[in-house]
Amino acid sequence: MLKRLIPSLLVLAAACSPSAPSVAETALAAPAIQLDCFRETGAAMLAAHRAGPAPGYPENALSTLRRLADLGVLYAEIDVRRSADGVLFLLHDDTLDRTTTGAGSLDGLAWGTLSGTTLRDPDGTIVEDTIPTLADALTVAREAGLVLNLDLKSVSPEEIIGFVHEHDARDEVAIIAYSVDQAAAIHALDDGLLLSAPNDPAALQAAGANLEAVYIWTGVGAADADQDARLAEAGLETSAGLFRLENGDPAVYQAAAAAGVELLSIDDVDTAVVALGGADVLQAQIAACIVD
């Protein structure tokens, strides 16, 4: 990505931060390069919030991930937690009650206890899926051609980067950073990993985040075409959360795509896919931007 935003700060930050890997030392991960292609070709990709649950498909479940690729969804936002004995697993809440057959807090639970817990779909129906590990989700992502968008619930930057490097997963993940400091901390460990980061490019750059490997989270709500155009002029891609606007109307997704947003974060996967032209159209756009 050719970032034109405050280029002198990037050079200065690299020169003054010997402990952080430089852009020249750390290759950009494939999702960062691919997003650049989506911006240049005007493609809008779907990011399934909590993996895009639907009847029969729980949130943060392996079966739900497998269904996404067939629909032309590229990004699966999943919630990552750490068990008491250090296993990284997927679950949004800090209790078991809402989405599983278990009950109570996750505090102090080892993976042996969590691993046999069965999931419920959005209607509360018990399904065959059990709570999955992040390693199992990564296997599915590789098979299906997905990017796992990691929302860190109880995992430190050091832990997640350790996992990514141990599993050679740089080309299958993006990480959500909720603050400038968190983005900088992650990029201090690997500045080529793609991050979702707050809408403050100057602060991100000054803190040491690599804007070559960042896309901007513009928040939950309708997309702002003028704002997106300014960020695109600086070589930055964007993501918008549409899940609170979803009401079955295709125009919700079409308006965000027309505004130039590269990643539409959504709950209603099926409606969003149809609104953007169907699985074949989305899969063709992905294929046009595949990184060798």
Rounded to whole angstroms, the Cα distance separating 46 from 4 reads: 26
Rounded to whole angstroms, the Cα distance separating 23 from 212 reads: 8
Which DSSP helix (H) or strand (E) runs through 55? Answer: none
User: What is the DSSP secondary-structure string of 120-145?
Assistant: E-TT--EEEEEPPBHHHHHHHHHHHT
pLDDT at 26: 73
Q: Are 142 and 156 in contact (CB under 8 A)?
A: no
Q: Is 288 exposed, middle or buried (0-12, 13-18, 19+ CB in 10 A)?
A: exposed
Backbone angles phi, psi at 216, to 5 degrees: -95, 125
Please give the CATH number for the structural domain made up of 7-288. Answer: 3.20.20.190
Rounded to whole angstroms, the Cα distance separating 254 from 275 reads: 6
Residues β-bridged to residue 263? 45, 239
Per-residue pLDDT of the chain (292 residues; tens, 9 = 90+): 333 343 333 333 333 333 334 433 579 999 999 999 999 999 999 999 999 999 999 999 999 999 998 999 999 999 999 999 999 999 999 999 999 999 999 999 999 999 999 999 999 999 999 999 999 999 999 999 999 999 999 999 999 999 999 999 999 999 999 999 999 999 999 999 999 999 999 999 999 999 999 999 999 999 999 999 999 999 999 999 999 999 999 999 999 999 999 999 999 999 999 999 999 999 999 999 998 7
Rounded to whole angstroms, the Cα distance separating 47 from 152 reads: 16
pLDDT at 25: 54
Q: What is the DSSP letter of 106?
A: -
pLDDT at 129: 98
User: How far, rounded to the nearest angstrom, does the alpha carbon of residue 153 sit from its chain's CA centroid?
Assistant: 13
The residue type at 174: A
pLDDT at 206: 98
Rounded to whole angstroms, the Cα distance separating 268 from 239 reads: 16
What is the token pair recorded at 289?
């931007």
What is the token pair recorded at 105?
């807090």
From the list 242, 144, 157, 281, the residue with the least C-alpha distance to 208 is: 157
pLDDT at 18: 34
Which DSSP helix (H) or strand (E) runs through 264? Answer: strand 263-266
